[in-house]
Structure 1
């Protein structure tokens, strides 16, 4: 992918989202516009400190479960990027309640699906006009417009040998509506790329435990969505991929995780920079290694 002029990251107040903000400032060609969004900007103290180091950062309120905040953020982004549009949307915001079959409730499943599935869907839908503007200079080798959805290996059907993270695994399957982005594509000139950030916990083949029910289910749904999008868009020049950021040392991953936030995000950015038609619709980890669905 070409170096993006503009990047928008959801869930940027901590963890992977915050690290994406930090590392995009360090790439050889940093974005001119770096939009860091979160539910409560006033409480995002560390993000505010990072923003002091660069005039390219704009902190915005965006709660993926509230359409009015998505629309307001879209208006602000549009006013800043102009005709150049939005090059890269990273749907990072998500939740994981880590429940089991015994403890999961209907409300837990609905909440997880709303944030992990509806959130990326309707955020992408709102910013689609700006993504399409940026896609006008795309080529099969170097797409200039992309959507990256953060998922998990716990969503892998092939690696799934447990019954945990139910709502999380399933919710990620509802993104097919993102097909709207394909309308201006051609086989030789893709107008957008979609990379779903998944997880090894979504893998059916590798799931051997029964924990994290809602999380596993929603992320598995995201993997299915990735395949559906690929089937629909492969002849229209749109890249569709799926990324597992690893078990990362965040609030969700806990301090027991073996991968640092910096290592994960650095790897993810490298994988995204190498997006092309040959590696479409593959569940890949942050090091570029393919994983079973």
Structure 2
């Protein structure tokens, strides 16, 4: 991939994607790292200070007034080459039960985990189509064009055997449907769309007892992304090599 935009890049998995992509070979021309408050994102700013291809953007998935300026900044930098990859990583979590979860929390979860990625993807689709059109790669893959939605096994209806995490599970199931739907609509453009589970990762969301570090999770996902082809568009993948399909 030559250009990629990552949401929720100030910490956790998003920040680790920026770190690893910044030093990846071949080096992407631009890694657009977006977050709500760039001035307070000290770790992200430190990466950008030592890697000129990392561009920090102010972008709040819940505030659509930030979309236009972000699109304009990206467009001015990438020019006719467009954007190759949009990685919708920003999200929030819930441990509530179906009995206790409240309306305000449900609204917030769906706004960030579903509506945000959908609306942001709409905003960047012209740049993604431009990137695919001007790519020398004619087959599905990250080097042509892709929308990657970070999902979770908690969003699988078939695999749910415990209940709980109300709102979070439902939002990620909806995100998976968005991935499937968008994959069909963008098939003619040969833009790959995927729901990707990162595994249980030791971040502020995953907690300290998680089985994977951000470093190992992101390293494996980047390796996995390099293997993607047309057969994977619209799918829900585990963070597992060799490639392993999750159940919706």
Could you state the TM-score of these two structures normalised by the residue count of structure 1? 0.78
Which whole-Å CA distance do the structure 2 matches of 1:226 and 1:68 have between them? 24
Matched position secondary structure for 2:151:
coil
2:75 — aligned with what? Answer: 78
2:153 — aligned with what? Answer: 153
Matched position secondary structure for 2:5:
strand
Which whole-Å CA distance do the structure 2 matches of 1:45 and 1:235 have between them? 41
For residues 58-114 of structure 1, what are the alpha-carbon distances to aligned partners after superposition, in whole Å with 9 as ceiling and x for unaligned? 111100011111111111111111111111111111111321123211111111111
1:140 — aligned with what? Answer: 139
Which whole-Å CA distance do the structure 2 matches of 1:46 and 1:233 have between them? 35
Do 2:147 and 2:191's aligned partners in 1 also have CA atoms closer than 8 Å?
A: no
Do 2:201 and 2:211's aligned partners in 1 also have CA atoms closer than 8 Å?
A: yes
**Alignment of structure 1 residues 69-148 onto 2, 5 Å:** 69-136=66-133, 137=135, 138-142=137-141, 144-148=144-148
Which whole-Å CA distance do the structure 2 matches of 1:214 and 1:134 have between them? 34
Alignment match of 1:260 (pick from 200, 213, 217) = 213
Which whole-Å CA distance do the structure 1 matches of 2:164 and 2:8 have between them? 24
1:291 — aligned with what? Answer: 246
Matched position secondary structure for 1:36:
strand
Runs (5+) with no aligned partner, structure 2? none
Which whole-Å CA distance do the structure 2 matches of 1:230 and 1:24 have between them? 24
Which whole-Å CA distance do the structure 2 matches of 1:8 and 1:56 have between them? 12
**Alignment of structure 1 residues 20-59 onto 2, 5 Å:** 20-59=17-56
**Alpha-carbon RMSD:** 1.6
For residues 251-278 of structure 1, what are the alpha-carbon distances to aligned partners after superposition, in whole Å with 9 as ceiling and x for unaligned? 0000110011011111111121111112
Which whole-Å CA distance do the structure 2 matches of 1:88 and 1:17 have between them? 14
Report the CA distance between 1:246 and its aligned residue. Answer: 0.2
Report the CA distance between 1:241 and its aligned residue. Answer: 2.5
Which whole-Å CA distance do the structure 1 matches of 2:185 and 2:5 have between them? 25
For residues 172-193 of structure 1, what are the alpha-carbon distances to aligned partners after superposition, in whole Å with 9 as ceiling and x for unaligned? xxxxxxxxxxxxxxxxxxxxxx
Closer/same/farther in 2, CA of residues 38 and 129 from structure 1, 3 Å limit: same
Alignment match of 2:12 (pick from 8, 15, 28) = 15
For residues 111-152 of structure 1, what are the alpha-carbon distances to aligned partners after superposition, in whole Å with 9 as ceiling and x for unaligned? 111111111111111111111110012422545111111111
Which whole-Å CA distance do the structure 1 matches of 2:152 and 2:17 have between them? 17
Runs of 4+ in 1 over 6 A off after TM superposition: none
